Amino acid sequence: MTTVPPDAGRSWWLREALADDPGEPAPPLRGDLTTDVVILGGGYTGMWTALHLKELDPGIDVAIVEQDIVGGGASGRNGGFVNSFWGDLEYLAYHFGDRATIALCEAGEESVKAIGRFASDQGIDAWYRADGEYVVAASEEQFGRWADDLITADRLGVSQHFQVLSTDELRERVASPVFRGALFRTVGATVHPGRLALGMRRVLLERGVRIFEDSPVTRFGTGDPARAETPGGTVQAGVAVVALNAWAHHWKRFRRTVVVRGSYIVMTEPAPDRLKEIGWTDGSGVADMRSAVHYVRTTPDGRISFGLGGMQPNLARRIGPRFAYDPRAIEIAIADLHRMFPGFVDVPIEAAWGGPIDVSGHHLPTFGTLGKGNVHYGHGYTGNGVGPAHLGGRIMANRILGKADPVLDLPLVDLEPLRFPPEPVRSPGALVANTAIRRKDEAEDDGEEPNPLIDFVAKLPRRLGYNLGP
Ligand SMILES: Cc1cc2nc3c(=O)[nH]c(=O)nc-3n(C[C@H](O)[C@H](O)[C@H](O)COP(=O)(O)OP(=O)(O)OC[C@H]3O[C@@H](n4cnc5c(N)ncnc54)[C@H](O)[C@@H]3O)c2cc1C
């Protein structure tokens, strides 16, 4: 039985990045200031918005207010999969039509590439590798779940982005006894989330963006000017951007459109020889087709970072400490890692952590505007925000500056959110549905039929119109 590593307080990524180059920390906000744009939240959404704003208008005055350090939320804790939207092809085409789908997928692909270019241009060693990603069938039941996406890809003439691999073909690239073939998506990269976040902070500071860390916004007024209050001071601005990801759930306005789930990652010690044995030597990502998805990637020094999504440690009305570290979820992740890659059973687990996910009913982010038209928000990535946050930042920056960028016509702009039920139904209902979804996934992993009641409850969200995973 492998030992569950203790709570180190931060993700391995952020600790590694801080040890490698802590950079210039940003001070807490002290006193009152006025700026053109105030951004609440220093994750990728907030930071890309600031970077796009500065690129479009170098003279604009921007301040970011972050409760922790930049990247302290999901952006410094994630699996580092940089995705576009090609993986949602059938769903997108059904809801938004063919043209809008292609436009969105191409814009998402451009963001995947732009992140790599940015890191390289700015000298950020973010371990960016654009080697594509495998969507694997990790049980008989998962086999072929990609069929609808392939049919849509064929119809739209974009099949070049996909390749179906048999079990044997997949085994030559990434071998696991549980894999039953895969869909390979050519567009996709992996990145070191912590190095990217700290690198972005450096570039933002160089470009004159004021960043205030350790500065939780305790009150926010959406008037004109907007006003963000922190314990040490206040920022007033003509324009505000709410980039709080899962923490937006704490704001009454978004309580029914963003719900919170947990995702957990375990990181092994380096074992490059073991990776060679299973043939996995590039920077590709592997995700399976469970609803409580496994997302797995390697590092250049030969580690496996093994992620487990779709967890809910409690009623999730607030983002408590179990979202950052939950021994039970970590134990499950370790067992699942060993089931998928038995050759790693005796490789010690060096670190484990978790983070909150901003789940939206569409499984897609939305970028909208509130108040008198001067308060913008972007969230709802549902665990796929590393690439899309770059696109979201581009959308919000163009909107703020009144520029005419074609991304403003994408269907994510002002996407009407699906509302979750009110309390007291929402939190217990989500916990019950989530538990059933996990049990169904686990039964399928074991090659068993899920119990009919569990199957019924697990499918309920989809029957009610929510898209919470495959
Ligand atoms: C464990 C895990 C694994 C993931 N894996 C992947 C992956 O592999 N690929 C992928 O595409 N996506 C993944 N995601 C999701 C992805 O990390 C996010 O969608 C993405 O980083 C979007 O960033 P964001 O800026 O919207 O959110 P965040 O990075 O969470 O930023 C929001 C910020 O707001 C701050 N904040 C909150 N409240 C306040 C307040 N009151 N005042 C001031 N600041 C506040 C938080 O501290 C946080 O820094 C994962 C997420 C988690 C948790």
CA-closest residue to ligand 1 atom 47: 73
Q: What is the Cα–Cα distance from 468 to 115, expressed in whole angstroms? A: 27
Going from the Cα of 167 to the center of ligand 1, the distance in angstroms, rounded, reads 34
Going from the Cα of 281 to the center of ligand 1, the distance in angstroms, rounded, reads 28
What pLDDT, on the 0 to 100 scale, is given for residue 462?
85
At 103, is the secondary structure helix, strand, or coil?
A: helix
List the domain range (segments joined by +) for residue 437: 426-463
**Rounded-to-10 torsion of CA 191, 192, 193, 198:** -120
Going from the Cα of 156 to the center of ligand 1, the distance in angstroms, rounded, reads 33
- Which 3-state string (H, E, C) describes 358-425? EECCCCCCEEEEECCCCEEEEECCCCCCCCHHHHHHHHHHHHHHCCCCHHHHCCCECCCCCCCCCCCC
Asked if residue 188 has its Cβ within 6 Å of ligand 1, the reply is no
What pLDDT, on the 0 to 100 scale, is given for residue 2?
73
CA-closest residue to ligand 1 atom 15: 383
Q: Taking each helix axis from N to C terminus, what angle separates 388-401 and 44-56, rounded to the nearest 10 degrees?
A: 40
pLDDT at residue 451 greater than cutoff 70: yes
Q: What is the Cα–Cα distance from 194 to 435, expressed in whole angstroms? A: 31
Mean pLDDT value of segment 100-106 = 98
Confidence category of residue 469, pLDDT binned at 50, 70, 90 = low
Atom of ligand 1 nearest to the CA of 389: 22
What pLDDT, on the 0 to 100 scale, is given for residue 12?
98
Angle ∠(180,439,464) on CA atoms, nearest 5: 100
Phi-psi region of 302 (alpha: psi -120 to 50; beta: other; left: phi over 0): left
Asked if residue 91 has its Cβ within 6 Å of ligand 1, the reply is no
68 inside domain:
no
**Rounded-to-10 torsion of CA 254, 255, 259, 264:** 90
459 inside domain:
yes
Atom of ligand 1 nearest to the CA of 68: 47
What pLDDT, on the 0 to 100 scale, is given for residue 404?
95
Asked if residue 287 has its Cβ within 6 Å of ligand 1, the reply is no
Please name the residues in contact with 448: beta carbons below 8 A apart, sequence gap of 6 or more. none
Going from the Cα of 45 to the center of ligand 1, the distance in angstroms, rounded, reads 8
What pLDDT, on the 0 to 100 scale, is given for residue 214?
98
Asked if residue 383 has its Cβ within 6 Å of ligand 1, the reply is yes
Asked if residue 381 has its Cβ within 6 Å of ligand 1, the reply is yes
249 inside domain:
no
448 inside domain:
yes
Going from the Cα of 253 to the center of ligand 1, the distance in angstroms, rounded, reads 19
| Per-residue model confidence as pLDDT tens digits over 295-322 | 999 999 999 999 999 888 888 889 999 9
End-to-end CA distance of the chain: 31
Confidence category of residue 1, pLDDT binned at 50, 70, 90 = low
Going from the Cα of 383 to the center of ligand 1, the distance in angstroms, rounded, reads 9
Number of domains in the chain: 1
Going from the Cα of 46 to the center of ligand 1, the distance in angstroms, rounded, reads 10
Going from the Cα of 360 to the center of ligand 1, the distance in angstroms, rounded, reads 14
**Considering the chain, what is the average pLDDT of its residues?**
95
Per the listing, tokens 């933002």 go with: 204
Q: Where are the beta strands (DSSP E) in 192-258?
A: 210-212, 219-221, 226-230, 233-242
Q: What is the Cα–Cα distance from 380 to 78, expressed in whole angstroms? A: 15
Asked if residue 74 has its Cβ within 6 Å of ligand 1, the reply is yes
444 inside domain:
yes
Asked if residue 247 has its Cβ within 6 Å of ligand 1, the reply is yes
CA-closest residue to ligand 1 atom 3: 78
Atom of ligand 1 nearest to the CA of 356: 53
Atom of ligand 1 nearest to the CA of 387: 11
Q: What is the Cα–Cα distance from 72 to 419, expressed in whole angstroms? A: 28
| Per-residue model confidence as pLDDT tens digits over 336-388 | 999 999 999 999 999 999 999 999 999 999 999 997 899 999 999 999 999 99
Angle ∠(452,455,461) on CA atoms, nearest 5: 140
Going from the Cα of 395 to the center of ligand 1, the distance in angstroms, rounded, reads 18
Asked if residue 285 has its Cβ within 6 Å of ligand 1, the reply is no
| Per-residue model confidence as pLDDT tens digits over 53-84 | 999 999 999 999 999 999 999 999 999 999 99
450 inside domain:
yes
445 inside domain:
yes
Atom of ligand 1 nearest to the CA of 45: 25
Mean pLDDT value of segment 169-193 = 97
What pLDDT, on the 0 to 100 scale, is given for residue 314?
86
| Per-residue model confidence as pLDDT tens digits over 222-269 | 999 999 999 999 999 999 999 999 999 999 999 999 999 999 999 999
Atom of ligand 1 nearest to the CA of 263: 1
Confidence category of residue 333, pLDDT binned at 50, 70, 90 = very high
Asked if residue 307 has its Cβ within 6 Å of ligand 1, the reply is yes
437 inside domain:
yes
What pLDDT, on the 0 to 100 scale, is given for residue 461?
87
pLDDT at residue 470 greater than cutoff 70: no
Confidence category of residue 188, pLDDT binned at 50, 70, 90 = very high
Asked if residue 42 has its Cβ within 6 Å of ligand 1, the reply is yes
Asked if residue 108 has its Cβ within 6 Å of ligand 1, the reply is no
**What is the 3-state composition of the chain as percent helix, strand, coil, each rounded to the nearest 5?**
40, 20, 40
Of 14-18, 314-318, 328-332, 437-441, least confident by mean pLDDT is 314-318
Main-chain dihedrals φ then ψ at residue 358, nearest 5 degrees: -95, 95
